[in-house]
Amino acid sequence: MNLVILMAFLKQINGEIMMRKTSASLLITALLSSASVSAFDLKGLKDLGEKLKKLAPEQPATNEVTTTAKSATAKNTFGSSSSSSSERSSNSGALGFCESEDSVFGLTNYTPMSLSGRPESIVSEYFNIDPGLAELQIREQLFAQEIRPVIGVTFPKVITDGGIWSGEARSRGVELMMDPSLTKLAQVIEASKQEPEGWGAVDIQIPESKLVMALVAIQLEPLLKDKALPGRLLKAAREPGKYGSAVSIKSRLALAMSARWELIQNNNQQRFDNYIVQSGDNQAQKLGSSSSATGRSCELCFDTIDWAANGGIPNWRLASQVEQAKQMRAQMFGDQPPYNPANWVVNVSSLRAQAQELNKNTSASFVSAKAQSRSEAKGAEAARISQEGQNTFGGVPDPELDQAISIMRIQTPQYMDAAKKDALAKALKDRVTLINDIQTMHIGLMGAAFSGQYSYVDIGEKAKALNSLTRSACLVAFAESRAAAASDVTLPDPNDISEEESFLRGG
């Protein structure tokens, strides 16, 4: 969740800073806005927050919700029966929240492209992939243990970064992650070939579709035929486009990736400085104060800035401005008390423990007992390599996400035994309950943000932790749902799940 109200407040108290174009002022503005540090603006939660205020106008903001609000939460989080199938991707219903446009995955606006040929021929133009081994080869690189230096983080983390504006563009990368096949890779390629038509502003999904293809090309680099392709795609991805009411928005993640490409691939620090500074501009003044997207934060943008300032680039000329911005942010947004309702730390710890236990059980069911110890050892090694790689190249490790990725690497199983099918159905039901609990805590955090009584810096940090749990839980849920589809197991009924008692709603 992102704190839209924070950006409106920032514009009111310092509107002039938002309009300046010097390197120093852009960096200060960017880092001030990063007080809202979570990746996505969950507009649905904002709307829900307003509804909750109307339901209980005299109650203080806490992490508890009323019985009436719980019912509303479940319907908003997982979608209602009135939602048409065209509004969701393949997992509509039980996993509706994970797929909504305002979640970290954002598949609501996914639009399949009309392919110009067979997937095999489209992919072969760009990649050396054996059609008979396609899923294995794509999966191996997409969820590779080694971090690609130019990306700096895992592919699942970068594709769900808040720096991508277009849900339609982002969703194609997510669909490939959910189904690492030639067909989905061909969709990414075909979308990247889109060109502007007619007059007027170009929709931002066109340049950002080229960004998604660039990310995929970098991640699948061992299979890529033309190693210079990402650079050309990133140049096109930096073009401005129309998003909402704005006609000249630039993709912040495209700018951050361009900066990293220039520094790491081309050793051009001057271009790095230019692009990374632009990536920090949240462009809120172009979107207007009513837009729910003004509070989105590009995680990799700020992580790269911090990395450069903290020695990633020795004696970086903008390091002092970064430190100045952090001090200003602390003064402006950190002087209020932290949001520490009763049981917050205990509840987050419990959610994390539940997720780890569910992941352990899923991993065990995805591999044979004989291979289990070897799989666990490989998973631990992958987490170590991932953390080392991200520390080296400016990303921030995400242990929950790394654990989920270790499951995504495993080939989707097909269960024939009735007992295993029942166990998979229960695992999915437990997973959806976990996701529901995480979102219940998100709503409490949103209420705290609306109240204006707590430190926005503290709220932003807590939102990051909840977003990390959401990413991990949804990613494993997608893997479990693939196994359910392969095994003819029905997904859980979201309405049934919403009525279950859980540790957050049980008494």
Distances (CA, A) of 223 to 140, 220, 231: 11, 6, 16
Q: What is the pLDDT along the chain (507 residues), one digit of tens a residue?
A: 333 333 333 333 333 333 333 344 445 445 544 544 333 333 333 443 443 344 333 333 333 333 223 333 333 332 222 233 233 344 445 666 677 665 667 666 677 889 999 999 999 999 999 999 999 999 999 998 788 999 999 999 999 888 898 888 998 998 898 889 999 999 999 999 998 887 778 999 999 999 999 999 999 999 999 999 999 999 999 999 998 888 889 999 999 999 999 999 999 999 999 999 999 887 767 876 556 566 567 889 989 999 999 899 999 999 988 888 878 777 776 678 888 888 899 999 999 999 999 999 898 888 753 344 444 555 555 556 656 666 677 777 677 888 888 888 888 888 888 888 998 889 888 998 898 888 888 888 888 877 778 887 788 888 888 888 988 898 898 888 888 888 888 888 766 655 555 656 553
Amino acid at 167: G
Farthest-apart Cα atoms in the chain, separation: 65
Q: Token digits for 389?
A: 């790689």
Rounded-to-10 torsion of CA 239, 258, 155, 468:
-90
- Residue labelled with tokens 């996400």: 401
> What is the C-alpha separation between 34 and 304, in angstroms, rounded?
13
Who contacts 15 (Cβ-Cβ below 8 Å, separation ≥6)? 285
What pLDDT does residue 123 have? 97
How far from the centroid of its chain's Cα atoms is residue 182's Cα?
23
Strand-strand pairing, 241-243 and 246-249: antiparallel
Q: Please, are residues 334 and 458 in contact by the beta-carbon 8 Å criterion?
A: yes
- pTM surpassing 0.85? no
466 forms beta bridges with none
What pLDDT does residue 482 have? 85
Q: Please, are residues 74 and 436 in contact by the beta-carbon 8 Å criterion?
A: yes
Distances (CA, A) of 300 to 81, 160, 307, 335, 396: 36, 11, 10, 26, 8
Q: Token digits for 266?
A: 């081309």
What pLDDT does residue 466 have? 87
Q: Please, are residues 289 and 243 in contact by the beta-carbon 8 Å criterion?
A: no
| Angular region, 368: left φ>0, alpha ψ -120 to 50, beta rest | beta
Q: Please, are residues 302 and 27 in contact by the beta-carbon 8 Å criterion?
A: no
What pLDDT does residue 432 have? 87
The total of other beta-carbon atoms located within 10 Å of residue 150's CB is 23
Helix (H) or strand (E) segment spanning residue 154: none
R_g (Cα) of the chain, nearest Å: 22
Please choose, from the candidates 230, 227, 285, 276, the residue with its C-alpha nearest in 3D space to the C-alpha of residue 253: 276
